[in-house]
Amino acid sequence: MKVCAHGKLNLSLDVLGKNPNGYHDLRMVMQTVQFGDDLDVQLRSDGQFTVDPGQSYLPADGRNLAVKAARLFLEGTGLGADIRVVKRIPVCAGMGGGSADAAAVLRALNVLTGRDMSVEQLCQLGLQAGSDVPFCVMEGAALAEGRGERLTPLPSLPDCPIVICKPAFAISTPELFVRVDGRKSRLRPDTAGIVSAMEAGDAPGVARRLYNVFEDVLERRQGEIFSIKSALTDMGALGAAMTGSGSAVFGIFGDENAARAAFQALSARYKECCLTRPYAGER
């Protein structure tokens, strides 16, 4: 079965604190986009699992979330799976590429095996593979809380062009959490305002409120994040922000021609850029 793994964007990201179990308490509004990886998933009867991850530097064993998800789904059945990924979502971008691949595998295996598990059941299974997997299973838009596993579905962002651009460096997620934990004061995103704007179908209202607390603790050497944000807004984006723990930056546009011009301009400077639109899922 061929299936698409859609990338995700954080329209807002807030870190509320650190729990005794070591996990951080998060509050985020997330949205899937049409841009993503393509996967080919095939059952095998010998219980073996293989993955072609699409890039030579990605793990091709049980460390790969797609394999982990497949093993969780097929546990006790004696079945295995061959998984081939055409990788488009940038790695270490904050777009949930590995989680999206895992979610796509769960959806595919659900069809191939005829188990007909509900979205809620797939989300619970996906949580064992990774915190972002439940949202990637559900797709569309949601308010995500806790580790990201407590999901409140929202209306998807209205159809609009989105430009995504990743600079040629990654950002350490653990380091960002350490810096956020060490802050004495912090600004917070207007999460309630974004939720209200999503419910009203107000894309400009969402764009004005884009905010990611990780941007507040970036180091000077990561200043290219802000350069890309400025370039996007200078070229007509209604708002721009870093997604997840980075390093990809996205801009929401109200004008198709402006978005296309921004994509072309940034593509001349950065290898990993795309022009996409929101994806509402199949609810």
Q: Is the pLDDT of residue 184 over 80?
A: no
* Cis amide leading into 247 (omega within 30): yes
The verdict on domain 2-154 having CATH code 3.40.50.300 is no
Please state, in angstroms and rounded to a whole number, the distance separating the CA atoms of residues 35 and 21: 34
| pLDDT-derived band at 183, boundaries 50, 70, 90 | confident
pLDDT at 164: 98
Quick: pLDDT tens for 83-99.
999 999 999 999 999 99
Q: What is the pTM of this model?
A: 0.95
Quick: pLDDT tens for 215-226.
999 998 899 999
Quick: pLDDT tens for 81-139.
999 999 999 999 999 999 999 999 999 999 999 999 999 999 999 999 999 999 999 99
Quick: pLDDT tens for 165-176.
999 999 999 999
Quick: pLDDT tens for 234-267.
999 999 999 999 999 999 999 999 999 999 999 9
| Average pLDDT of span 180-199 | 90
pLDDT at 22: 78
Buried/exposed code over 48-57 (b: 16+ C-beta within 10 A; e: otherwise):
ebebbbbeee
Please state, in angstroms and rounded to a whole number, the distance separating the CA atoms of residues 249 and 236: 15
pLDDT at 186: 74
Q: Which residues are catalytic?
A: 8, 132
CATH of 162-276, one of 2.40.110.10, 3.30.70.890, 3.30.70.100, 3.30.830.10: 3.30.70.890
Q: What does the domain layout of the chain look like in residue ranges?
A: 2-154, 162-276
| pLDDT-derived band at 283, boundaries 50, 70, 90 | low
Give residues with Cβ within 8 angstroms of 179, minimum separation 6.
217
pLDDT at 282: 79
pLDDT at 101: 98
